[in-house]
Amino acid sequence: GHNLPCTHSETGRCFMTSQNHGFAVETETLPKDWKVLFSNENDKTNEGIIHEKLPYFSVQFHPEHTAGPTDLECLFDVFVDAVKIYKNGGKCVIDSMITDRFHFVPSLQERPKKVLILGSGGLSIGQAGEFDYSGSQAVKAMQEEKILTVLINPNIATVQTSKGLADKVYFLPITPEYVEQVIKAERPTGVLLTFGGQTALNCGVELKKSGVFEKYNVKVLGTPIQSIIDTEDRKIFAEKINFIGEKVAPSAAVASVEESLLAAQQIGYPVMARAAFSLGGLGSGFANNEEELKNLAQQAFAHSDQLIIDKSLKGWKEVEYEVVRDAFDNCITVCNMENVDPLGIHTGESIVVAPSQTLSNREYYMLRNTAIKVIRHFGIIGECNIQYALNPYSEEFYIIEVNARLSRSSALASKATGYPLAYVAAKLALGIPLPKIKNSVTDVTTACFEPSLDYCVVKIPRWDLAKFNRVSTKIGSSMKSVGEVMSIGRNFEEAFQKALRMVDENVTGFDPTLKQVNENELREPTDKRMFVLAAALREGYTVDKLYELTKIDKWFLEKLKNITDHYVVLSSQGVISLENLKKSKQMGFSDKQIAAAIKSTEIAVRKLRDDNKITPFVKQIDTVAAEWPATTNYLYLTYNGVSHDIDFPKDYTMVLGSGVYRIGSSVEFDWCAVGCLRELRKQGKQTIMINYNPETVSTDYDMSDRLYFEEISFEVVMDIYNLEKPDGVILS
């Protein structure tokens, strides 16, 4: 299997490896002078042996594997060096050569007795419920380690401020003055800054600069403050990235029209010009030649005295990785995600799919190796998110940004993989080594592993732009979405159609009849672009033509075309065949959607399904693609299966979650759902949660006995109800 963690016996460093062996050496039977070199971190079996004096060693994995991690390629360098030394008549002890390469001195702090956690304050667009989720996990992790927690968060509608979680909660603004007062009163010995979004980070940086942490002897746990500043400051960031031989997108700041033309010549057209210090991208745009840039620059200098010229990467793929590193330099990438929308749209505004679907193996590992190189260089401890722009026609890529904190992407990655990122990051901040933390999904394996997914996850943002007058519906580089949904399926079509219904319960799926074709809307994306795309596919636009207009990868366009083609098949049939009904369900069509296409009713389609036993299967998310037994209760429904992964013993109480955050319904209803689950637990009842919002605490798999990450619709809730036969359902 891929991604097996192997630990070096001398240094305790753990590495990801690729394997295809069904056998292991029995270490008790090793002859004299031989000893263990590597062990499997999961089942402690042998993964390599070495001779103590002679230059012999062997490993049980493929360091050079061309379809897997290359973390231990350096073993070949050791081998080649040994041959050279031996050839020149020198004496070489391979054991110490390997140990020297892996040797790392961690800078560990004293373990704190009381920790201050900064929350994210009131919700705003771009910073919502995901920080309630990450803060709650941090509190849980601290409690497990018997550390007192003090939380500052003025947001009353959050789970983390509820009774029974943190030891003390202060409902105060997250500003340096108030935080200093709390530090003065509580005297914590450590502080966590990366669990409260940008608000907490900015406040922490202020407190560090003004010397408050030093004055009260408070240690910043996890990622050092300097690393955070280095990733936030564009100039330092570019310098540090260039230092390790990687690239950020080229840009230049200019003060006149002549300078801007010179800069554009060096960077190469097309370029993006934007006025510095201007609100909402005033005076910004794309220029393909000198003439266009001249006009743009003249307009921009009317708004501002500085212009920034960037290389235009419009139409490149946007890919992101979630990376984790501990104080002992063990690094893993937990999840990689690909934006369906090309670069130019904020990742929070994009439709995102995990794992990436259109990268080659070579591209995947090229970006993975870079991510690990970057996190090591910045000295980040805990979790970080790295975003890339990748040229669709070559292997050229640029690093767009690094977030040295938990973000909305990390909440999504946690829910997509079942890997509790915030919980693990909190433990790492205390200096606990990654291999020593248990994978809470399998209960037997280590948290030092890279999840393998045997399913596809799609995230779609929710915009509530209709609630505002005169707001542009165009989406771009600044965030307007107020919430997001996540769906799980066995193929892209299934997951994508589920997600569209989750975002808006009035939509039946990838429906080509909702919008008119409008080429401008395909070029300049709006919140409803996907439905314009559906209409265009229905009208007979080719995939090549649509790629030209949208720059959405052809792989995704082909998949979307499968859905609209199937609509045609359905509507051309008077009576639906069972084969077609099954195929429709496997492509993520809902009963209502099928009924609309064949001019029938949802109840009639449901009855036809039930009569012919076309019902969904319940699958588990196990993070290890069935390589180890999983004990998880994290579930989804699919028609692309042949059996259930679990039994249905009955005696459960079902609770329905609040779904996607929107204006008028957000984190406060998640607080209600979690309160309900907790109370049921106290009463000794077993609970089932149905929700599909990745930013919530209610979709944490230890909040309920069974978590269905599914749509909250009549069809799906009834499907689950018929399988589970619960004692009752709580709706409010």
What are the DSSP calls for 637-703, one per residue?
EESS-SS-SS-----EEEEE---S-BTTBSHHHHHHHHHHHHHHHHTT-EEEEEE--TT-STTSTTS
Asked whether the beta carbons of 384 and 404 are under 8 A apart, the reply is yes
Identify the CA nearest to 13 among candidates 242, 329, 355: 329
Give the mean model confidence (pLDDT) for residues 554-576: 91
Angstrom distance (rounded) from CA 400 to CA 318: 9
- With pLDDT > 70 as the criterion, what percentage of the chain qualifies? 93
Amino acid 677 reads L
CA distances from 390 to 314, 395, 445, 566 (A): 11, 7, 34, 32
Angstrom distance (rounded) from CA 621 to CA 699: 13
Give the mean model confidence (pLDDT) for residues 586-596: 94
Neighbours of 543 (CB within 10 A): 16
What are the DSSP calls for 516-559, one per residue?
---HHHHHS-BTTHHHHHHHHHHTT--HHHHHHHH---HHHHHH
Each residue's pLDDT tens digit, 665-715? 767 788 888 889 989 999 999 999 999 888 788 887 788 899 999 999 999
Each residue's pLDDT tens digit, 233-251? 777 888 899 999 999 888 8
Asked whether the beta carbons of 565 and 540 are under 8 A apart, the reply is no
| DSSP secondary structure code for residue 271 in this structure | E
- Name the CA radius of gyration of the chain, rounded: 27
Asked whether the beta carbons of 99 and 662 are under 8 A apart, the reply is no
Amino acid 305 reads D
Helices 130-144 + 197-209 axis angle, to 10: 60
Tell me the three state secondary structure of residue 161: coil
CA 109 to chain centre: 29
What confidence tier does 129 reach under pLDDT thresholds 50, 70, 90? low
**Sheet with 57-59: strands ordered across:** 14-17, 4-8, 34-40, 46-51, 57-59
Asked whether the beta carbons of 230 and 401 are under 8 A apart, the reply is no
The structure tokens 């910073």 sit at 127
Three-state secondary structure of 320-379: EEEEEECCCCCEEEEEEEEECCCCCCCHHHCCEEECCCCCCHHHHHHHHHHHHHHHHHHC
Angstrom distance (rounded) from CA 321 to CA 368: 7
Q: Quickly count helices (H) and strands (E) in the chain.
A: 23, 27
Angstrom distance (rounded) from CA 421 to CA 194: 12
Tell me the three state secondary structure of residue 606: helix
Give the mean model confidence (pLDDT) for residues 363-389: 93
**List of domains in the chain:** 4-102 (3.40.50.880), 114-221 (3.40.50.20), 251-311 (3.30.1490.20), 317-451 (3.30.470.20), 459-611 (1.10.1030.10), 621-730 (3.40.50.20)
Q: Given a cut of 50, is residue 280 above it in pLDDT?
A: no
- With pLDDT > 90 as the criterion, what percentage of the chain qualifies? 51
pLDDT of 30 reads: 93
Q: Given a cut of 60, is residue 526 above it in pLDDT?
A: yes
Q: For residue 396, give every residue at least 6 positions away whose Cβ sits within 8 Å of its Cβ, in sequence order, or none.
A: 390
Angstrom distance (rounded) from CA 718 to CA 603: 12
Which residues make beta-bridge pairs with 273? 285, 309
Look at 266-280, 400-414, 455-469, 644-658 and tell me which has the smallest mean pLDDT: 266-280
pLDDT of 89 reads: 85
Give the mean model confidence (pLDDT) for residues 272-299: 74
Q: Given a cut of 90, is residue 315 above it in pLDDT?
A: no
Asked whether the beta carbons of 37 and 9 are under 8 A apart, the reply is yes
Q: Given a cut of 50, is residue 279 above it in pLDDT?
A: no
Q: Given a cut of 70, is residue 467 above it in pLDDT?
A: no
Question: Prior bond to 270 cis, omega within 30?
Answer: yes
Question: What's the residue count for the chain?
Answer: 732
Beta strands 307-311 and 317-325, pairing class: unpaired
Identify the CA nearest to 589 among candidates 607, 616, 611, 612: 616
Identify the CA nearest to 590 among candidates 611, 605, 576: 605
Q: Given a cut of 60, is residue 18 above it in pLDDT?
A: yes
| DSSP secondary structure code for residue 223 in this structure | S
Provide the mean pLDDT of the chain. Answer: 87
pTM for this entry: 0.88
